[in-house]
Structure 1
Amino acid sequence: MATLHAAYALLSLAPLLVVSDPPVVYTQPEQVHLSYPGVPGSMVVTWTTFNSTDSLVEYSPWGGRLFDKSAQGSATLFVDSGSEKRKMYIHRVTLSDLKPGSRYVYHCGSEMGWSDMFWFKPLDDTSTSPSFALYGDLGNENPQSLARLQKETQTGILDAILHIGDFAYDMHEDNARVGDEFMRQIQSIAAYVPYMTCPGNHEATYNFSNYRNRFSMPGQSESLWYSWNIGPAHIISLSTEVYFYLEYGQELLFRQYEWLKRDLEEANKPESRAARPWIITMGHRPMYCSDDDQDDCTTFDSFIRRGRNDTKPPAPGLEDLFYLHGVDLELWAHEHTYERLWPVYGDKVYNGSTEDPYTNPKAPVHIITGSAGCRERTDKFNPNPKDWSAFRSTDYGYTHMQVVNRTHVYLGQVSDDQAGKVIDSIWIVKEKHGYDAWL
């Protein structure tokens, strides 16, 4: 009976009891992701904590003595520009002298907290037949393709992921908590393979600060533009947004263009093109598209393609630059659809032949892959596309790309709506690369 009275007494005090949330471990690593710094046998590990800690990665070859190697890096304080001025520490550690083709296990953090254990395979510029997933416009609401990407990544199908702009929708929202949540979500893929990025229009708030601080791409441009080599390919990532957000500095547009020109000239040197014949670009907003939304790519005088005449001096577009330097393949997103174009230049089709349009094409090939899944859903198409539109789909999904060898690249569109079915695929076959290939 005494026990019963004690229970009643405790219940009578229930309104006075406060159940608090468990304490947050602000030193615990989260949002772990990899990137390739462009140096053979290296990998960058990036993560976030909400208090200052050391920046350590412990790692070891698969099957060896666990965590018998370690590397130390540094952390930078990122203060979000929202009303709360939330602070976070972005940690970066570069692992070097890795053996390409081997597999390594790692965790990151400090003695104040460690991440889960992950694994990866190093890249270098002699990797054979690298395989990629390509997409843009992935949000933390309705991330339709994420589960399939998780499985493909963790089963070792992919060597790298190219995220072609627009993250989270949007990283700055709720004082950057949406960005935190998105980075936690993609940890399930980005902690296993290099997650290579370019900025999109949804990153523009506060001068792209969430994008520039959270990612760790090669070069010295805060991940806005850069290039890297893998296998027989030279991959260039660029910002299309410099054509639209002139309030953040018109000089960025011209700086990027001059950088692109120098990079393409270097990539076209005989010894460079002999080692890496494929030149592939990735940028968020396309030059061409047949969506029915009045975006820049729906107009003949697209800023990305033709440049801007309302700047001083006039800003050059990218189509002629890419054509004159023999860019083989141009990857885009922004439109929440998938669209494959025939080889196109100057709004005209230049197929290799009627029977084999992508065999020795006479102009670059464009792929738009922006339907990975976000809260804005998919877009609608113009019912009367131009002649350069070869295949279109509004299914959620992403694109596979494999640079098979010096002459062959495979591209296939995976439909998440159709349980992973490949709904479109092509082989680009080129016996010659460079500007002379168009002649």
Structure 2
Amino acid sequence: RVSVAVGDFVPLLVLGVPPIWTQPEQVHLSYPGVPGSMAVTWTTFNKTESKVEYGLLGGRLFEMSAKGGTTLFVDSGEEKRELYIHRVTLTGLKPAATYVYHCGSDEGWSDVFLFTALNDSTSFSPRFALYGDLGNENPQSLARLQKETQLGMYDVILHIGTLHTDRNITTICTDNARIGDEFMRQIQSIAAYVPYMTCPGNHEATYNFSNYRNRFSMPGQTESLWYSWNLGSAHIISISTEVYFYLEFGLDLLFKQYEWLTKDLEEANKPENRAVRPWIITMGHRPMYCSDDDQDDCTKFDSYVRLGRNDTKPPAPGLEDLFYRYGVDLELWAHEHTYERLWPVYGDKVYNGSKDQPYVNPKAPVHIITGSAGCRERTDRFNPNPKDWSAFRSTDYGYTRMQLVNATHLYLEQVSDDQYGKVIDSIWVVKDKHGFSAWF
């Protein structure tokens, strides 16, 4: 009798049916860009209420609650799987205060997590972990990042595109979006504790980025494709480099982003704004410059992101001149499964601050490529004869840390997971002046 009962359940186990369809999972935080707020996003497989119960650490548990909304997301795969994406924005949070929370409904609650509300002071010195290309399989840096996040080492995580995927093999949509579910469960141990800020990469492109647009909750009204936000002394801009590559989804996205970027940079450069947030930092997936021997972006053609495209009507403008004109200080990239630090560069030429102190008052933007967090494909190889702008290269698995110290000093370091967390590269970027005039 027992064996028959077990046999009855075998098909269910093989199909991997979730045991409780109303149970919240894939919990992650993001910063909506409004001081004193935090967005909580999660998934269920049946429709339920969207509720977060929370309270100050050390206070009465769950003494406050907030409600939000649910979006039905139907994946475009053969099964047309239905996911309910829940979003609740917490407001009126005390800067730098730690809150305990769980999310869900009376039909099922998540584990209990905690987060620290972002400090909205311009003198705040936020600490970031940044990386791209973290895969489901062989996510080598994940355990170290989980521990460091839970130790409170980071205020924000920047995931610079290619979320939970492996080139040519799996994408966010593989297996009717189950790969996406698996990755979101995997990063919950980081993303449920600190705001997890993203930009789209090439692996998110299937079905016109529908999984990416639906799963993440970034600031602004552009379905998380591009947006900007302020923290400490920085204005941070996230872009989609993919608009230059997936023209089948319409050229209008490329021009819309360029127009939005121009307006956003103009606003950020108004003297009263640049005085308060002097650093302008961008993040996008595919780099303008790279030294990987990849027979692709780095070697076959000049970057579309940097120079634009002449094979479109009208021709599509690139971003290097725009970023230079508006005095972007630091550009963060991924896509190449390596770490590379560049000398200050513009127009394929090095513009160091000085011979002895290249990053003190540099005469062009500083580029960092950090795409070696770990995935199925291993790390990439470098071209043995890199160009003059390539300052430091590593094929170790790892990720980057950044601290925005104050209006003049920014610190970056690269952590090697292969070498048990050893810092293998570090620089201070020091700028007495920001904006276009700083280049001269």
> Taking structure 1 as the reference length, what is the TM-score of the superposition?
0.96
Is contact 2:95–2:120 with CA below 8 Å preserved after alignment?
A: no
CA 1:383 to 1:17, structure 2 compared with 1: closer, same or farther past 3 Å? closer
1:81 aligned residue (47, 53, 76): 76
Shift of 1:300: 6.0
Alignment of 1:13-412 (within 5 A): 14=3, 18=7, 20=9, 24-126=19-121, 128-169=124-165, 170-298=171-299, 301-412=302-413
> Once the 2 structures are TM-superposed, how far is the Cα of residue 19 of structure 1 from its aligned partner?
5.2
- Give the secondary structure class of the aligned counterpart of 1:211: helix
**1:349 to 1:16, Cα distance in 2 relative to 1, 3 A:** closer
Give unmatched runs, 5+ long, in structure 2.
Answer: 166-170
Alpha-carbon separation, structure 1, partners of 2:400 and 2:8: 48
* Structure 1 partner of 2:168: none
**Paired residue type of 1:18:** G
C-alpha distance in 1 between matches for 2:161 and 2:412: 19
Aligned equivalents of 1:17 and 1:226: distance in 2?
51
Residue pair 2:200, 2:240 contacting (<8 A) in 1 also: yes
Structure 1 residues without counterparts, runs of 5 or longer: 1-9
Is residue 227–residue 236 contact of structure 1 (8 Å, CA) maintained in 2? yes
> Matches of 2:162 and 2:115 in 1, distance apart?
25
Q: Contact 1:139–1:168 at 8 Å: present in 2 too?
A: yes
User: C-alpha displacement at 1:294, in angstroms?
Assistant: 2.4
Note the aligned Cα RMSD (angstroms): 1.3
Change (3 A) 1:432 1:16: closer
CA spacing shift, 1:16–1:283, aligned 2, 3 Å: closer
Report SS of the residue matched to 1:139: coil
- Is the Cα–Cα contact under 8 Å of residues 27 and 113 in structure 1 kept in the other structure? yes
Residue 106 of structure 2 aligns with an amino acid whose one-letter code is E
Tell me what 1:5 maps to.
none
**Residues of 1 paired with 2:8 and 2:79: CA distance?**
26
Find the residue that maps to 2:302 and give its secondary structure.
Answer: coil
Aligned equivalent of 1:3: none
* Cα distance change of structure 1 residues 16 and 225 upon mapping to structure 2, 3 Å threshold: closer
TM superposition shift of 1:125: 3.7
* 1:167 positional shift: 0.9
Partners of 1:272 and 1:108 lie apart in 2 by 36
Distance of aligned partners of 1:17 and 1:110 in 2 relative to their CA distance in 1, 3 Å threshold = closer
Distance in 2 between the 1:300 and 1:159 partners? 37
For residues 202 and 187 of structure 1, do their structure 2 counterparts lie closer, same or farther at Cα, with a shift above 3 Å needed? same
Distance apart, 1:24 and its partner CA: 1.4
How many aligned positions are there? Answer: 428
Return the offset for 1:376: 1.3
Which structure's CA Rg is the greater one? Answer: 1
CA offsets 1:221-264 (integer angstroms, 9 cap, x no match): 10000000000000000000000000001000000000000000
Deviation at 1:342, TM superposition (A): 0.1
CA apart distance, 1:14: 4.6
**Identity between Structure 1 and Structure 2 (%):** 79
Separation of aligned partners in 2, 1:14 and 1:332: 55
How far apart, CA to CA, are the structure 1 residues paired with 2:373 and 2:6? Answer: 46
Compared CA separation, residues 377 and 223, structure 1 to 2 (3 A): same
Q: Cα gap change, 1:17/1:211 in structure 2, threshold over 3 Å: closer, same or farther?
A: closer
TM-score, normalised relative to structure 2: 0.95
Distance 2:118 2:295 in 1: 40
Does the CA-based 8 Å contact 2:226-2:257 persist in structure 1?
Answer: yes
Counterpart CA distance in 2 for 1:17 and 1:115 is 28
SS at match of 1:305: helix
In structure 2, distance between residues paired with 1:383 and 1:341: 16
Displacement of 1:17: 5.9
Shift of 1:126: 1.7
1:60 partner letter: G
Alpha-carbon contact 1:286-1:333 (below 8 Å) kept: yes
Residue 168 of structure 1: how far off its partner (Å): 1.1
Answer yes or no: is the 8 Å Cα contact 2:159–2:199 preserved in 1: yes
Cα offset for 1:185?
Answer: 0.4
Counterpart CA distance in 2 for 1:114 and 1:55 is 10
Letter in 2 for 1:246: L
| Contact 2:36–2:120 (CA under 8 A) maintained in structure 1 | no
